[in-house]
Amino acid sequence: MVTAKRKNHLNTDAIREIRNTFSRYLSILVLAALAVAFLSGLRTTAPDMQYTADNYYDRTHLMDGYVLSTLGLTEEDLEALAGAAGIEEVEGGRELDATATDRIVNVRSMPEKLNLLDVVEGRLPEGVDECVTEPLLLVKLGLQVGDTLELTLAKDDEDDLENTSYTIVGVVESPLYVGLDRGASSMGNGSVDAFVYVPGENFTFDYYTCAYFTGQGLAALDTYGDEYEDRIDALVDSLDPLAEERAQARYDSLIGDAQEELDDARAEFEDAKAEAEQELSDAWQELQDARKELDDGWESYHDGEDTLERELANAQRELNRAYADLRSGERELADGRVKYQDGLDEYNDGLARYEDGLDEYNGGLAQYREAAAPLDEQKAKLDESWAAYHAALAPYEGTPQYDMAVSQMAAQKAQLDAAQAQIDAGYAQLAPVKAELDAAKAELDGVKATLDEARATLDSSLRELDQAERDIRDGWSEYNRSVAELADARAEGRRELDDALAELNDGEKKYADGLAEYEDGKKEADEEIADAQKKLDDAQAELDKVEECEWYVLSRFTNAGIVGYFQDSDRVSNLANVFPVIFFLVAALACLTTMTRMVEEQRTQIGSLKAMGFSRLAISKKYIGYAFSASLVGGVLGLALGCTLIPLVIANAFNIMYAIPPLEFKPQTDLYFFCVLAAVVCTTGAALWACLSTLIDTPANLMRPRAPKAGRRVLLERVGFIWKRLTFTWKVTMRNLFRYQRRFWMTVIGIGGCTALIVTGFGLHESIFSILNEQFDHVFLYDATLGINTDVEAETLEEVDRYLTDSPWVEGYLPASATELDVSSSGPAQSATMFAVDELDRFTQFIQLGHRLDDGGVILPDDGVVITEKLSELLEVSVGDTITLDGDKRVDAVVSDIVENYVSHYVYLSETCYRSLFGEEPEQNEILLRYTEEAGETESDAVSNHLMAMDGVDSYSYIATLRDNFTDSMEAIDYAVVVIITAAAALAFVVLYNLTNINITERVRELATLKVLGFFDREVTAYVYRENLFLTLFGIVLGLVMGRFLHSWMVLTVEVELVMFGRTAPLYAYVLAAVLTVAFSVAVNIAAHYKLKKVDMVESLKTVE
Amino acid sequence: MSYISFENVKKEYRMGEVTIKAVDGVDFTIEKGEFTVIVGPSGAGKTTVLNMLGGMDACSGGTITVDGAQVSDYNAKQLTEYRRHDIGFVFQFYNLVQNLTALENVELAAQICRDPLDARDVLEHVGLGHRLDNFPAQLSGGEQQRVAIARAMAKNPKLLLCDEPTGALDYVTGKAILKLLQDTCRQEGMTVIVITHNTALTPMADQVIHIKNGRVANVERNDRPTPVEEIEW
């Protein structure tokens, strides 16, 4: 009974203690609550978010991984995959990109088992021509559930979808699309705007584009946990052999067939080509022959023409000559007739003379013959004697008796010879008469011959004259005939030539036609051949490009949304790693001080109780209980608030970017327990420590007033000239500051911590949002960009040019060359946009190139590129280093400068440099626009609508929209920052209040004494304030320094790869942090002033406790 | 007109429903330069009287006059002024500022007065010329009390109020302190009022006021006060 009663009273005391010092109790409670709320809140946020996501994934049977194949997947592939160890379910999916109005959509087959859709509005498709999509698309296209969605397919896969018109029957969310990223597309501007799910039977191709799978037992694991990661990695790795095998099989079947087909096609092509070429060459030959013939024809035509002319001329000439001959013949004939008459007269004279001569001769002859007749008779007898001599000799001729005969007959002979000689001499006497007669005879004969001859000549002349006359007559008739004949011949020849010319011309025309036909035919054939060749080559290239079929087995962590959500929630987790710890430490320190103070205050009572014989445990129970109950209640309250509110606020902010269902709280008993325990242990431990260190002392000592903490000289006193100038109150302040060192550091760290947190909070906010100003006001001076189709005609662009020049809203515009490429050094590659700059001066009116830390100008040299700062950090390169640009070509370039930029990565280079690097002219595919000051969104929309209607304009993007999107995506971090600032402010207030309170209660006696000494209230307050002021200032200075580093560290923690946050907290963050801290300090001090006023001077009379 | 006069001074504390009359109509007068001892058992109300006289507490009724001024009518600010310039206070537990040396403690009080005495002189006067630069923790109880007295005296107050000045001191030291107070009264002409429960001290005073149950039981005047050295208890 006694025991019970005693305990009762101690409990009563303990309870009354709480009631009496409720503000202190409350402050411990609040500190514990804040610390636990903040710690548990930030700590549970990431797990809660990930838990929510995990539940969502499990509920929708999100794939654990998926397989992509460069050649598509077959039913057998799916079966093989399903048969692999560790695979639970497999589902094939088909997808393609299409255009809906001006948006690129990813059209997917409706899922059956995996990646199920959450219906937000409406229902899932039932008919084959129904689809579901996401809210985003409806907003962008101004459609509603029930409307019709028209899809336009790319030319290459026009036939890939059965239907292109779908009724939108519902709005859904897909676990594959939790983020804002909808993936890349080969169409349009290269990125997908939204997804559309249609019934799978719409897809006409036979292969699957993707195979989704789940692993056995993986759904039960936390998707963002280590075990899941290990298991899915292992599973993905284990599928490698299968992937290789199936890929090879697919390659063999598909590429083999394709190659065979292609080879056949090529052979066919070659045949056709040869045939065509043969035909062409035949045709050519024919044409050549025709030509030759034509040429010959022409030649003979010309020859004929020449011959005709020549012949005609000859004939004419002959005719002329004949004419002249005839004329001269006629003249000659007339002459001849005259000469003939003369001749005839002369003849007749001659004849008369002859006949006289002849009569003379005949007389002479008759005289001679009378003289010669005896001689001739002698002579005839002799000749008979000679004949008898030779006849007697004749039989011996040739015989040896011949000579004897001759000699025997010699006498005869000699007679004969003598006769002979007599006759001869007769003759010789007659001879001159004879000769005279003969000569006359000859003369007469000559005359006669001459006369005959003349007669003959005259006769022939006459004949000849007659003949000539006849001839001339004939000549004239012939001449006349010839003239007629020549005329005829001329006409004939001409006609013939004309016919030939006509024929030739005809032939020429036919030849020209034939040639043209041939050319056409050849051109057509060439084109067809080239076409076919190109098709074949393309097909071959395509086949060759495929090289090997490759299977990509990927885990769900390659999905941008899923992994982004993880990383972003982890970023919150990073925030949670340091902030709450600092926070917690400060709160714990404050609790410790408070409890220590409390025990100190009750030193005498403890001594008394100890003296009465209470056990240490019994005595310390009160304090431990006090601390325990305060921290426990506070901790639990803080836990309840922190674990619900903070995750909700942050998760809510995340919903701007992620389509994850409303937050579900993950029971994290360990963490809850740990958080509360930490608060309880810190506070209770402090109480216990304070108690024990007091309880060690003997009761006697305890009951005696504790020797006041000795005053000490401080270092400052050694600096005489300062010290002497200080008033006592300042001296006291100085000494106090250093006397209570624990409290000094406590306060300084507490205030400093809070200041640092506030600096960081504001700094982060500023770092995040200032970059938007920097980026969009100072770096990007342009307001919009136009994507230009480089294939269009120049005149189409002139229209754009004209419009831009005339538009009252467009202040300036600049065609630019922007290329997307990958930039890398030794590490992973980063995506960047490369601008090839023509005129730097003009370019910098649209995009400012400058350094972040100095005002030095930037130039674009011919042998180096300029990159943006964050890119240089990610690539770990500096000026002078070499980077690899991987666009259409892969080239190395030297970094010549690094420029200020915050959002995305850019590479700038001069056109000269571009040419020397890439070996081609940069293509101007963008137009940067700058609007006038007055132009806003409405004007931008107007310009956009106008321009987008023009040919050649592919896209339009308004930078303010970009900026808004960016702001939205950064909001999540900002929410966390707001939480931090609020909590830090609350903490700062509580800590300051608590410490000031302790400061006052601890020295209430001193303060009372001062009052008794006649210090005014304000002097007393000032006495305390000076210390607080000093502590606050010191704390602020420390906090600003800490804040600077904390901020830098935090910026790097929360920064994403695509963005460079401001690296330094702005001045205003420091100023604001200092001002806020001072404001809290002032508020606390005002409260303290009233507390000080209440300090009872009677306290000074009390015994020292 | 006496230097100090209490006329029917009352002090009531309201503790919820209950009203406690700590002082219930006290009348007395003290002349300038007198050494007065207010004596009474614990809880008699003597500290309350001292508080009211020292301007640390306002009275609920009656009139307190000090050097012609109506202290009982003072508001808080006037009371502070009054404490500042007219009162020197010596506490049972010295209440020195631990962070200040003996000299500084005295100067601390002196700096807020209109017409302070030289701190060093005062300390030498109380016999601590050699401990000027010592901190309270380095001084014995008696020495600390001397510093406290010096601090009170340096303000050159109209009256010196001492609340159980020897309460925390041993006999010899206590006696020395009382001697210091008596000497101060006699030599400087300071009006000194000592509150004690120790009736043995009464012979040293010019006037002894007995307080019992919140009233003045009786007032004795000693025409020939006994020097402290001769008093034993």
- Encode burial over A838-874: b for 16+ CB neighbours within 10 A, e otherwise: beeeebeebbbbbebeeeeebebeeebbbbbbbbbeb
As a whole number, the mean pLDDT across chain B is 85
A201: DSSP letter: G
Cα–Cα dist A692/A840, whole Å: 76
pLDDT in tens, A703-746: 665 555 566 666 667 777 777 777 766 777 777 777 777 777 87
Task: Say if the Cβ atoms of A731 and B137 lie within 8 Å.
Answer: no
B197 touches chain A (CB under 8 A): no
Task: Say if the Cβ atoms of B54 and A1012 lie within 8 Å.
Answer: yes
Higher pLDDT, A119 or A1026: A119
Residues in A closer than 8 angstroms to B151, CB to CB, are 1013
| Residue that the structure tokens 């906090």 belong to | A1039
Cα–Cα dist A441/A176, whole Å: 162
Task: Say if the Cβ atoms of A1015 and B84 lie within 8 Å.
Answer: yes
Task: Say if the Cβ atoms of A727 and B47 lie within 8 Å.
Answer: no
Task: Say if the Cβ atoms of B99 and A739 lie within 8 Å.
Answer: yes
Please determine, for residue A656, whether its predicted confidence score (pLDDT) is greater than 70: no
Task: Say if the Cβ atoms of A710 and B98 lie within 8 Å.
Answer: yes
The chain B residue lying nearest A1103, using CA atoms, is B93
The chain A residue lying nearest B149, using CA atoms, is A1013
pLDDT in tens, A807-832: 888 888 888 888 878 888 877 777 78
Residues of A with CB under 8 A from a CB of B: 705, 707-712, 727-729, 731-732, 735-736, 739, 1005-1006, 1008-1017, 1019, 1097-1098, 1100-1101, 1103-1104
Cα–Cα dist A909/A899, whole Å: 12
Residues in B closer than 8 angstroms to A1097, CB to CB, are 51, 56-57
Element (H, E) at A870: helix A869-875
Q: Find which of A712, A1101, A1105 to mutate to test the B interface (most B CBs within 10 Å of its CB).
A: A1101
Q: Find which of B50, B75, B87, B98 to mutate to test the A interface (most A CBs within 10 Å of its CB).
A: B98
Categorize the per-residue pLDDT at A908 as very low, low, confident or very high, splitting at 50, 70 and 90.
Answer: very high
Cα–Cα dist A507/B119, whole Å: 145
The chain A residue lying nearest B83, using CA atoms, is A1014
Cβ-Cβ contacts under 8 Å for A167 (sequence gap 6 or more): A127, A129, A130, A131, A146, A147, A148, A149
Task: Say if the Cβ atoms of A1006 and B85 lie within 8 Å.
Answer: no
Q: What is the CA radius of gyration of chain B?
A: 17
Cβ-Cβ contacts under 8 Å for A471 (sequence gap 6 or more): A329
Higher pLDDT, A678 or A750: A678
Give the number of A-B residue pairs with CB atoms closer than 8 Å. 103
Task: Say if the Cβ atoms of B56 and A705 lie within 8 Å.
Answer: no
Task: Say if the Cβ atoms of B137 and A1009 lie within 8 Å.
Answer: no
Of the candidates A393, A345, A86, A372, the residue with the CA atom closest to the CA atom of residue A231: A86
Residues in A closer than 8 angstroms to B163, CB to CB, are 1101
Please determine, for residue A169, whether its predicted confidence score (pLDDT) is greater than 90: yes
**Mean pLDDT, to the nearest integer, of B95-102?**
80
Angle between helices A603-612 and A669-695 (to 10 degrees): 80
Which residues in chain B (96-155) have CB-CB distances under 8 A to chain A?
Answer: 97-101, 104, 107-109, 111-113, 135-138, 151, 155
pLDDT in tens, A15-55: 888 888 888 888 888 888 888 888 888 888 888 888 888 88
3 state SS of A163: coil
Residues in B closer than 8 angstroms to A729, CB to CB, are 108
Task: Say if the Cβ atoms of B84 and A739 lie within 8 Å.
Answer: no
Which residues in chain B (19-48) have CB-CB distances under 8 A to chain A?
Answer: 47
**Mean pLDDT, to the nearest integer, of A793-801?**
77
Q: Find which of B90, B99, B132, B151 to mutate to test the A interface (most A CBs within 10 Å of its CB).
A: B99
Task: Say if the Cβ atoms of A1013 and B138 lie within 8 Å.
Answer: no
Query: Which tokens sit at A795?
Result: 């005149």
Question: Closest Cα of chain A to B55: distance in Å?
Answer: 8
B94 touches chain A (CB under 8 A): no
Task: Say if the Cβ atoms of B155 and A1005 lie within 8 Å.
Answer: no
Residues in A closer than 8 angstroms to B51, CB to CB, are 1097-1098, 1101
Residues in B closer than 8 angstroms to A1010, CB to CB, are 97
Task: Say if the Cβ atoms of B92 and A1103 lie within 8 Å.
Answer: yes
Please determine, for residue A547, whether its predicted confidence score (pLDDT) is greater than 70: no
Please determine, for residue A185, whether its predicted confidence score (pLDDT) is greater than 80: no
Element (H, E) at A1028: helix A1017-1054
Backbone angles phi, psi at A679, to 5 degrees: -65, -45
The chain B residue lying nearest A1019, using CA atoms, is B112
Question: Closest Cα of chain A to B216: distance in Å?
Answer: 22
Backbone angles phi, psi at A724, to 5 degrees: -65, -25
Vertex A1005: Cα angle to A1001 and A1007 (nearest 5): 85
Please determine, for residue A7, whether its predicted confidence score (pLDDT) is greater than 70: no
Task: Say if the Cβ atoms of B84 and A705 lie within 8 Å.
Answer: no
Residues in A closer than 8 angstroms to B89, CB to CB, are 1012-1013
Task: Say if the Cβ atoms of B135 and A710 lie within 8 Å.
Answer: yes
Higher pLDDT, A653 or B36: B36
The chain A residue lying nearest B104, using CA atoms, is A728
Task: Say if the Cβ atoms of B80 and A1016 lie within 8 Å.
Answer: yes
What residue type is B155 in one-letter code?
Answer: K
Of the candidates A1017, A1001, A988, the residue with the CA atom closest to the CA atom of residue A1078: A988
Q: Which of A711, A1097, A1103 sits opposite B98 (nearest CB)?
A: A711
- Structure ipTM over 0.85, yes or no: no
The chain A residue lying nearest B101, using CA atoms, is A711
Categorize the per-residue pLDDT at A1 as very low, low, confident or very high, splitting at 50, 70 and 90.
Answer: very low
Categorize the per-residue pLDDT at B116 as very low, low, confident or very high, splitting at 50, 70 and 90.
Answer: confident
pLDDT in tens, B155-173: 888 888 888 888 777 888 8
Q: Find which of A734, A736, A1009 to mutate to test the B interface (most B CBs within 10 Å of its CB).
A: A1009
Of the candidates A209, A146, A215, A150, the residue with the CA atom closest to the CA atom of residue A183: A209
B13 touches chain A (CB under 8 A): no
Residues in A closer than 8 angstroms to B45, CB to CB, are none
Residues in A closer than 8 angstroms to B54, CB to CB, are 1012
Query: Which tokens sit at A1068?
Result: 């205003």
Task: Say if the Cβ atoms of A1017 and B80 lie within 8 Å.
Answer: yes
Cβ-Cβ contacts under 8 Å for A33 (sequence gap 6 or more): A634, A635, A637, A638, A641
Element (H, E) at B196: strand B191-196
Cα–Cα dist B61/B47, whole Å: 17
**Mean pLDDT, to the nearest integer, of A780-786?**
87
Answer whether A107's CB lies under 8 Å from A92's CB: no
**Paired sense of beta strands A784-788 and A103-109, if any:** unpaired
**Mean pLDDT, to the nearest integer, of B181-206?**
87
Q: Which of A1012, A1015, A1101 sits opposite B112 (nearest CB)?
A: A1015
Of the candidates A73, A115, A71, A106, the residue with the CA atom closest to the CA atom of residue A210: A73
Residues in B closer than 8 angstroms to A1095, CB to CB, are none
pLDDT in tens, A263-321: 888 888 888 888 888 888 888 888 888 888 888 888 888 888 888 888 888 888 888 88
Categorize the per-residue pLDDT at A637 as very low, low, confident or very high, splitting at 50, 70 and 90.
Answer: very high
Q: What is the pLDDT of residue A5?
A: 43
Task: Say if the Cβ atoms of B82 and A1014 lie within 8 Å.
Answer: yes
3 state SS of B41: coil
B196 touches chain A (CB under 8 A): no
Q: What is the pLDDT of residue A530?
A: 84
- Encode burial over A895-922: b for 16+ CB neighbours within 10 A, e otherwise: bbbbbbbbbbbbbbbbbebbeebbeeeb
Backbone angles phi, psi at A834, to 5 degrees: -110, 125
